[in-house]
Amino acid sequence: MQHFPELFEAMLRERGITPEEQEGFLNPDYEKLHNPLALPDMEKARDRVIKAVKDNEHVVVFSDYDCDGLPGAVVLSDFFARIGYNNISFYVPHRHDEGFGLNQDAIKEIITRGTKLLITIDCGIADAKEVALANENGVDVIVTDHHKPNPLSAGGLPNAYAIVNQNRDDSDYPFKGLCGAALAFKLVQAVVLQETFGVKPGMEKWSLDMVAIATLSDMVPLLDENRIFARFGLSVLRKSPRPGLAALFKKMNLDQSTVSEDDVTFMITPRINAASRMGVPKDAFQLLSTKDYSEAERLALYLEQINNERKGVVASIVKEAKFRLAGREDLPDVIVIGNPEWRPALLGLVANSLVEEYERPVFIWGRSGDGTLKGSCRSYNGYDLFALMNIASGAFIEFGGHTGAGGFSVTLESLTTLEEKLSQALSNLEAGSSSGDLSLFDINLDDIGENLWNLVSSFAPFGMGNKKPIFKIPKAEIKSVRKFGKESNHLEVTFNSGKNEIKAISFFSSPDSYPTPLTPGTRVSLLANLEKSYFRNYPELRLRIVDIEP
Q: What is the pLDDT of residue 216?
A: 94
How far is residue 464's CA from residue 384's CA, in Å, rounded to a whole number?
13
Residue 61 in 3-state DSSP? strand
Q: What is the pLDDT of residue 438?
A: 58
Q: What is the pLDDT of residue 434?
A: 40
Q: What is the pLDDT of residue 155?
A: 57
Among 346, 406, 343, smallest CA distance to 369 is for 343
Q: What is the pLDDT of residue 152?
A: 55
Residue 256 Cα distances to 26, 242, 251, 299, 544, angstroms = 24, 11, 12, 18, 21
Written as one letter, the residue type at 504 is A
Q: Is the dihedral of CA 274, 277, 279, 280 positive or negative?
A: positive
User: What residues contact 55, with CB distance under 8 A and at least 6 apart?
Assistant: 116
Residue 472 Cα distances to 310, 372, 545, 547, angstroms = 35, 48, 10, 9
Strand-strand pairing, 335-338 and 362-367: parallel
How far is residue 146's CA from residue 177's CA, in Å, rounded to a whole number?
8
Among 21, 113, 100, 22, smallest CA distance to 59 is for 113
- How many other β-carbons are positioned within 10 Å of the β-carbon of residue 381? 16
Q: Where are the alpha helices (DSSP H) in 427-529?
A: 450-458
Q: How far is CA 272 from the centre of its chain?
A: 11
Q: Is the CB of residue 355 less than 8 Å from the CB of residue 380?
A: yes
Strand-strand pairing, 335-338 and 162-164: unpaired
How far is residue 272's CA from residue 283's CA, in Å, rounded to a whole number?
9
Burial status of residue 132 (CB atoms within 10 A of its CB: 0-12, 13-18, 19 or more): middle
- How many other β-carbons are positioned within 10 Å of the β-carbon of residue 508? 10
DSSP letter (8 states) at residue 267: I
Per-residue pLDDT of the chain (550 residues; tens, 9 = 90+): 568 889 999 999 988 889 898 999 999 999 999 999 999 999 999 999 999 999 999 999 999 999 999 999 999 999 999 999 999 999 999 887 888 899 999 999 999 999 999 999 999 998 999 999 999 999 999 999 998 887 655 557 899 999 999 999 899 999 999 999 999 999 999 999 999 999 999 999 999 999 999 999 987 889 999 999 999 999 999 999 999 999 999 999 899 999 999 999 989 999 999 998 888 899 999 999 999 999 999 999 999 999 999 999 999 999 999 999 998 888 999 999 999 999 888 999 899 999 988 999 999 999 987 788 999 999 988 788 888 888 888 889 888 777 778 889 998 888 999 999 999 988 887 766 443 445 789 998 989 999 999 999 999 999 888 889 999 999 888 999 998 888 888 889 999 877 778 999 988 788 887 888 888 888 999 999 999 988 777 888 999 998 888 8
